[in-house]
Structure 1
């Protein structure tokens, strides 16, 4: 250290346990300001540069890019925010690695005949996967002009989130689900339930407002492994359909509704794959709908007293 308290580039490197090349690198990028230049034009650094360089090195061991380190040092970015951002990015990277690992295990464990088809399926899915295609499917499938709050609520219930630590079977189920929803969706005149179409006398927004409650009640019965039966869930289900077309819940209406629901197009494959992703402990809306339809069929098939 010179008489004015400054350090040469070599002295700073020695004090902090780095190479002269490292000091020059951070200095050239503005992270380590010089205090002065010697008469011979050599760099001189103040004693505070020792702590600053040690902090730079600590931040760099966290794999923070040089520009981010500079913003932290200049207090343009808070260290807590930077750490939170790095943790989020690292979480995404780990999720991608776990997904790729499960994908490779799935390919390793299948037969040679299955491998080409499975490769095609997983090639269409990012790692970690996005649910955007599934959300688009539901926006096409749902009736037109539903309130935004209803659409959001339905998509939240109907779209399964990819597991953070998937099994090979879950990777395959998601890839198949992605392929299913990526196919062309039938138009409103082909393949849509009758209750989706206002020209059939239904008010879809009224229907879906009531179905959410009915599905929740049926899901509780499914978790308890109760067979389809009459009760609050079925009454709520029928009431949703009755109110949506401006009529009352009567035995005649129930018989007619049973026939209409039996004739509706179905997306069973979607719900089967969703159940594989969620597991048996979390009933899907599709499973709740089937339970309610079975309860309605049982009820309408019983002779009137």
Structure 2
């Protein structure tokens, strides 16, 4: 080992002494610069380690809500503006629904109202109401009679005799309705006179339908020569060529007269209702003369109908 090396005790030679390096600057920013210890060295600010680039400023975050603030946030009422908008929308919807309902009601009333009744006078409306009251009274009487007949038929000892009398009465009624038996009773005489032209068949049919609706029980139609035709459910009316009317295959010439048995007041009101038979014939240039009679005889008979296909259900 040369003299330039000394034993270090570690087995490695100690290198030759080198000039002492300058004292490194203390990395601490607040340490004193060693050069400042020398009065001859100029005083310069000690170099400071480069600071790491600062992170961009972050927006200030609100302080975390405490338990009290959280509880306060839960119980806060909702904003006023949204509630006001919802209530306004509800009001608008309610108004639209009300208008829609009102429109539907008005439309139903308009379509269900008879224009002839809306233009009728007060006297005509009173007669119509009286007609309806009389019809109701007549129907109630019929119901009471049928209930009385039912009690008699189920009375026991007198049941057979009551059933026989009821069967005869029903046979007479059905014979009158079918036109196979003559009939008499209070009623009307309805006379159609043509002025501008012959009375058309559909006018006579309208009159027959009005009389049936007013409770007519038996009818016949005749012409000036006295030939009469019994009017039943299957009776048809046609316009004859050259004038006149064809009723059930028989030709009748004007003026035409309908004899009908039923309640006179009710049937007269039905014929004179505004927009009814009388007013329609008068507008067409004809004339209708309605006379009330205490006794009307319906003597024209209809031949019994022979059924080919229909059979009673037993």
With the length of structure 2 as denominator, give the TM-score of the two structures: 0.29
With the length of structure 1 as denominator, give the TM-score of the two structures: 0.29
Larger Rg: 2
